[in-house]
Amino acid sequence: MATSGTYAFTVTRDEICKAALRLVGAYGTGDPIPTADLNDTAQALNMLLKEFAIDGLPLWCVKTASIPTVMGQSSYNLSTATGNTLPIRVMNVYLRDSQNNDVTMQLLSRYDYETLGQKFAPGVPNQCYYNPQLGAGSLIVYNVPQDATHTLKVVYQSQLQDVNTATDNLDFPQEAFRFLKFSLADDIAMEWGCAVADRQEIAMKASSLRMKFVDYLQENASVFFTPDTRTGGSRA
C-alpha cells in the first residue's frame, strides 16, 4: 500500500468560505463567487474566530511570556510583553529567581486585589492581578519588586489570529477544519435564505462537531480541587 507520507493538508480562508457557501446552497461547485460575497463570508468567519476564544478552545494558543521585574514597578503591560494585542486570560504566573527556581504566584480577582493593603510596599512579589482592557492588558503584582533579580513567567491564552487575505491559513489545527466549515455555514445560513429544514440540519451538525472538537482539546492530565482558605474566599 502506497501512502503519501505527508501530513501538511490545510485550507485557506477562501476555501473555508466557499465550502460554507456550498453548504447553504448559495453556490455550487465550480461556480464563480463574487468578491463581495467572499468578503462578507470572510467577515463572518473572523467574527466566529474571535468568539471561539471565549470557550477557551485553543490549547495551541496557550503561551508563556517572560517579563523581567523592574524595581519599584507594580504594573506590566502584558500586550507589549507578549506581542499580542490583548491576551484573553492569564492562566498561571510564576516568579523565577536568579537561580532559575520558580515559585507559583497567587492569581487574584479584581475584588481580592482591591482589598489588599499597602499596595506599593516593596518586597518579593507573591500575588498578581490581570486587568484586561480594550487597549492593552496589564499585569499588576503585589508586593512591588524591591529589586530587578526576578522574572515573571506568565502563562496566558493569546488571541486567535485574523484571516485577512484569500490565501491566509487559519490559526487552527487540521482537526478543526470540518468543525469550522459547518460552524461558518450555520452562521451565514439565515443571511443566505437557506431553507429552515436545511438550517436546522446544518446547526445540529455544527453543534455536534463543535462539541466533539472541544472534548478533543481537553488535556490528558489529572485535575485537583482545593478549597480557598483565604478569609472570606474569592468574591469574583
Domain ranges of the chain: 13-56+162-216, 61-157
- What's the whole-number mean pLDDT along residues 37-45? 97
pLDDT digits (tens, 9 = 90+) for 148-191: 999 999 999 998 999 999 999 999 999 999 999 999 999 999 99
Indicate the average pLDDT of the chain.
92
- Lowest mean pLDDT segment, chosen from 43-47, 98-102, 156-160, 191-195: 156-160
Burial of 9 (0-12, 13-18, 19+ CB in 10 A): exposed
Q: pLDDT at residue 216 above 90?
A: no
Q: Is the pLDDT of residue 231 over 60?
A: no
Query: DSSP secondary-structure letter at 161?
Result: P
Give one DSSP letter per residue of 178-232, joined into a string.
HHHHHHHHHHHTTTTT--HHHHHHHHHHHHHHHHHHHHHTS-SS--------STT
Is the per-residue pLDDT at 218 higher than 60?
Answer: yes
Instruction: Please give the share of the chain, as a percent, with pLDDT higher than 90.
Output: 75
pLDDT in tens, 49-64: 999 888 777 888 899 9
